[in-house]
Amino acid sequence: MHPLRSSRRESTAGLTPFGTFYRLVLPLARPGLAVTAFYTFLTAWGEVAYATAFLTSDAKKTLAVGLQTFVGQFKTEWGYLTAAGILVTIPAVIVFLLVQRNLVAGLTAGGTKG
């Protein structure tokens, strides 16, 4: 018997179903969960079309929709647009940095043989 398998079996013996899930399944699923969470966050964060179509009040507009106020028909406020664009990007960068290790592991997990 492989030593890792026997030690894993011994460490999970006597655990509740939740304990088995928490100690065995969750660590194995963490990279996939990180990828899913990151892409879900980016999709929700960048949902400009939905917010533009349905939100009419300026108080309820999202940051991404608010960027459109700096682009006029004849003039674009590039300084304000750039500064606001950086502010909108900061939360996505923070989320990426928090899940980067698991994200890379999840993306490369399917590309290995063996």
In a domain? residue 13: no
In a domain? residue 59: yes
Residues 84-105 pLDDT 10s: 888 888 988 898 888 887 777 7
For the chain, percent of residues with pLDDT exceeding 90: 1
| φ, ψ dihedrals at 76, nearest 5° | -120, 130
Judged against a pLDDT cut of 80, whether residue 112 lies above it is answered with no
In a domain? residue 96: yes
Q: What is the pTM of this model?
A: 0.49
Range of 103's domain? 29-111
Give alpha helix (H) positions in the chain: 3-12, 17-20, 26-45, 48-54, 63-66, 78-108
Judged against a pLDDT cut of 50, whether residue 7 lies above it is answered with no
Reference 84, options 68, 100, 103; nearest CA is: 68
In a domain? residue 8: no
Tokens 């009419």, located at residue:
56
Reference 45, options 62, 68, 66; nearest CA is: 62
Q: How many domains in the chain? A: 1
In a domain? residue 39: yes
> What pLDDT, on the 0 to 100 scale, is given for residue 50?
77
